[in-house]
């Protein structure tokens, strides 16, 4: 039980710290729906959803990927950023609403190393 108790103690301490961090940021919580059973969640992988701002397409893309992007054989292009962004999500809100979605779940929106697109390789 020592291991379990240690994990529980760490978890409680981490939750207190997270709560303190949130409160000091002066952010506001958005209320969750009273009943999630009545919600329709639409998950968006932001980079692959819609490109709303072409000017930011090559940001966070390493030089070697930029060079390969315009060749006839862009190796591993599926691993690269495709340009989807928050402006693209905003521009398609009507489409999402028309589908009947009431909640949007976005993939992580973070600065990624080496042009990664998934939000899980943060720098």
CA 98 – CA 94 distance, rounded (Å): 6
Residues 35-48, mean pLDDT to the nearest whole number: 92
Q: In the chain, where are the structural domains located?
A: 1-30, 32-123
Backbone angles phi, psi at 76, to 5 degrees: 55, 30
Q: Are 60 and 117 in contact (CB under 8 A)?
A: no
pLDDT in the model for residue 105: 94
CA 79 – CA 115 distance, rounded (Å): 8
pLDDT for residue 99 is more than 70: yes
In the structure, what pLDDT confidence band is assigned to residue 2 with cuts at 50, 70 and 90?
confident
Lowest mean pLDDT across 1-10, 22-31, 84-93, 112-121: 112-121
Q: How many CB atoms lie within 10 A of CB 93?
A: 11
Q: How many CB atoms lie within 10 A of CB 46?
A: 19
């Amino acid at each position: 039980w020592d291991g379990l108790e240690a994990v529980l103690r760490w978890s409680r301490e981490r939750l207190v710290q997270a709560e303190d961090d949130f409160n000091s940021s002066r952010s506001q919580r958005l209320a969750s729906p009273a009943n999630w059973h009545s919600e329709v969640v639409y998950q968006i992988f932001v980079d692959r959803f819609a490109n709303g701002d072409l000017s930011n397409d090559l940001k966070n893309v390493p030089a070697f990927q930029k060079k390969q992007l315009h060749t006839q054989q862009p190796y591993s292009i599926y691993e690269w950023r495709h340009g989807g962004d928050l402006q693209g999500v905003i521009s398609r809100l009507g489409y999402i609403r028309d589908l009947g979605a009431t909640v949007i779940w976005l993939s992580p929106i973070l600065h990624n190393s080496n042009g990664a697109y998934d939000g899980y390789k943060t720098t």
